[in-house]
Structure 1
């Protein structure tokens, strides 16, 4: 075993420990999540979000449940961050601004984009739009 651990560059505990990586299987119950505004300093935040897998550690992606109140054109604040993003609209109508172009998404629609480009979101429908947002900061480096 000592030779194998040297050849494969793993510690001896690899052969005796659990195969499950720490923090790679976590359950987060609905009542455990908390809702946060995207920009707490704003009187009217662009959206509110809940981190879906906040208990998991060393994760290559982040998943959020987001709610977008109705906003007028030009009210959303653009932002960017490294990686890629996937957005799946679950309810309502959502406008996604990406590279100076606005795209309207409805329940069941999905978009994927390079999040290192400026982008913003705003609810279009009277009822808040709801979406699952998955961000993978490690991608597209």
Structure 2
């Protein structure tokens, strides 16, 4: 087990991402390329990142100033809830409206209106849930 968004966790997320044929193939069809940061709302920068090229994760680790296309932030409690219980389109919309998830970088509105992107985005939360974590908070 590793801490959420640590280098080890992001590497495991990369492996889980690439193992999910539904996720990678749907993103490959739209030539999806992005560097996505993940982190916590109380931080001034993301904790981890994953780089996607034509739907496949090619790089992942600790965030170190990479130029991001997307930056997703939430509280540790929200992340842990979504990773254990999953997140569907309705839950994502509610989380966004309540500002439980924020996007310092990236156009949530455009993404959610495009089913070719919205479906894989929600699917990525299920893939995240496959990665073991432990909380650094006791």
TM over 0.5, shorter chain:
no
Give the structure with the larger strand fraction.
1
Q: Which structure: larger Rg?
A: 1
Return the TM-score normalized by structure 2: 0.23
Greater relative contact order, per chain length (Cα 8 Å cut-off, separation 6+): 2
